[in-house]
Structure 1
């Protein structure tokens, strides 16, 4: 009972700091219009950026995949869980993003978290490796760096001068520069062309977590690599498949030797059951849509919604962070006010999450608005008007 009491004291401390997190129960498919706890809501909180989670073609492909392959894979990829669906998906992904890589190959994972752990613990497991990590990286990259045997140095956000000095002073034989492409809480983009130039100069890998860029950036939705027109053998690219692709899972694309090394030595890949093959089958439909004219139209509509929100928000006390992506953060400041505003929006039928430390720095609690191509201009106008109204209330 003493151990339980200790946990309860820590939970009470979180509550006193307005840091307690709560789950809401979604009763309908992922979409802008949802039902939560029996109540209709307009949601601005999912990462379904292209509106593919409930797309009829993707849903039908999932049904078809279950009929073809059953409900589960039954084993890890290296035992008997690697099905034709997984292989077709990996081949398709290597083709899709491989125009920006040298000798490309792709490897699928159950989640982006596992993919990042696999990259860093595989490439950073040698005793003389060194990891250079962006200060605003996602938790999965931070944890992957901690689990690797490499030395870890953190460079300030987008600070190329600081990173260049760290690389120049490194004697490691294996160097990894690790960064998000689109920063999930700020919505800004990493300076990837300059980062790649530094990596090529100092013979380092550039590991890019493109969780929020894959599908939304680039003329064909190939992500940050296409957006910046990058191509290099130094690139190790991670994309997630549960955000813009609308289903679930993730993949790593890189030179074939990198991928083969991850298959042979990547513990998060070797020692886990493969994802259900039906998901891989559904993702083939998602990738086709992303790269099609329909995908381009959805990306264009999404960008028009981003521009609309920026134009219609008339903030005086709060601050909308500069972002051209689907992630539109609004800095409130205190945890208490962010929670109050989030609750106020919820009372108006608008579901927008309040993000607090440790996810973001202390004093920068915010609303994290995420837009989807499935939203309408009328819905975004409704959100902007509600936020403007609440800001005027003290």
Structure 2
């Protein structure tokens, strides 16, 4: 039977989530994660993927992943520090550093454990971390794991950051101070005020850490948010993922050679988990080739994002204050957001509802992620379905 206490906990809490419209049902794709996906035998326009440049399905990347598998095998066979560092890992990290305009880089198995490992490798209980109140869950967990004092500042409010940095510095309680922020905030699509953050970092000697998971491959002609602002030389940690715009899996930190050398001896996921597969490395290197050789895909994702935004806004939807192709449709009440998403799917659009605790209670939304692979015809069809469902549920007039 197992534990009665566990069963009661699970039953009570699952039923509670379902009654409040907060239970997330996982849909299974019967196809690749492209602009059109198949769910339960039905083809849907896909507006929920992080596959910004359409590279998850790129034929040349698939070919390179097969070549790497044939040469090195399906797995690295060990952690990086024993004998799981293959030549292809070294090549990947060299290419990432070149791409991000830094001295060096380190690759992790995922963006989540990159944040979990990198923050705690540098910060400890003698330190404090100034963290934007809307930072990603992986940043929050990384900060907690470090043992450092966490000081939240108002979202993208550089004045509040400065006030709290001054208090922390003048208190004399901390050896080191770090400021950490997403580059692009994935729920609203807004962008960090990086010049303001760097100014605060310089004034109060803060270690600066930018999580550019949703900015790399999209901002700064693809190089990222830090490059967009021309501040590559001013940010200590440039963190990013290899699973969104690059279409594969993994995470990385780019920075000085000394920083990367330290992370390679102190970042726990690097030390205690088998490294990225050769296939992933081969595909990512090819993604970097594609992004370095042309900005065509980056230009296309912005074009599609702007087109979808304009269409939804003209229909009367609340799309918030997004500054990137990420386009939220803020519905409000959680159950209505879930119902809206369900009706979109029934009509032919896959756009997942995002509700509490991912976003604040009462700001349930359907988040749209147009990619470079969408055609205007797909987006026009999606807009027509949005109009139909929006009027039917009273979200628009």
How far 1:317 moved relative to its partner? Answer: 6.5
Matched positions, count: 386
Return the TM-score normalized by structure 2.
Answer: 0.94
Aligned to 1:326: 325
Aligned to 1:268: 269
CA RMSD of aligned residues (A): 1.3
Of 187-196 and 322-331, the range deviating more from structure 2: 322-331
1-structure distance, mates of 2:216, 2:313: 30
Aligned to 1:357: 356
2-structure distance, mates of 1:86, 1:10: 43
CA contact (8 A) 2:331 2:365 kept: yes
| Residues 1:180 and 2:182 aligned together | yes
2-structure distance, mates of 1:320, 1:142: 26
2-structure distance, mates of 1:234, 1:355: 31
Structure 2 CA distance for partners of 1:357 and 1:143, relative to 1, 3 Å: same
Aligned to 1:202: 204
Aligned to 1:142: 140
Aligned to 1:109: 108
2-structure distance, mates of 1:339, 1:213: 27
- Which residue of 57, 62, 87 corresponds with 2:60? 57
Q: Structure 2 matches for 1:1-394, cutoff 5 A?
A: 1-98=4-101, 101=102, 104-125=103-124, 127-170=125-168, 171=172, 172-219=174-221, 221-232=222-233, 234-293=235-294, 296-314=295-313, 318-393=317-392, 394=394
Structure 2 CA distance for partners of 1:153 and 1:61, relative to 1, 3 Å: same
CA contact (8 A) 1:181 1:208 kept: yes
How far 1:389 moved relative to its partner? Answer: 2.1
CA contact (8 A) 1:199 1:234 kept: no
How far 1:94 moved relative to its partner? Answer: 0.8
SS at match of 2:78: coil
CA offsets, 1:128-153, max 9 Å, x none?
A: 21100000000000011111121110
CA offsets, 1:285-319, max 9 Å, x none?
A: 000101112xx111111111122112222567741
SS at match of 1:79: coil
SS at match of 1:330: strand
SS at match of 1:152: strand
2-structure distance, mates of 1:131, 1:258: 18
CA contact (8 A) 1:303 1:324 kept: no
CA offsets, 1:21-74, max 9 Å, x none?
A: 111111111201111122211111110000101111111111111111110011
Structure 2 unaligned residues grouped into runs of 5+: none
How far 1:173 moved relative to its partner? Answer: 2.5
2-structure distance, mates of 1:383, 1:44: 9
How far 1:324 moved relative to its partner? Answer: 3.2
Of 381-390 and 49-58, the range deviating more from structure 2: 381-390
Return the TM-score normalized by structure 1.
Answer: 0.95
CA contact (8 A) 1:49 1:244 kept: yes
CA contact (8 A) 2:183 2:214 kept: yes
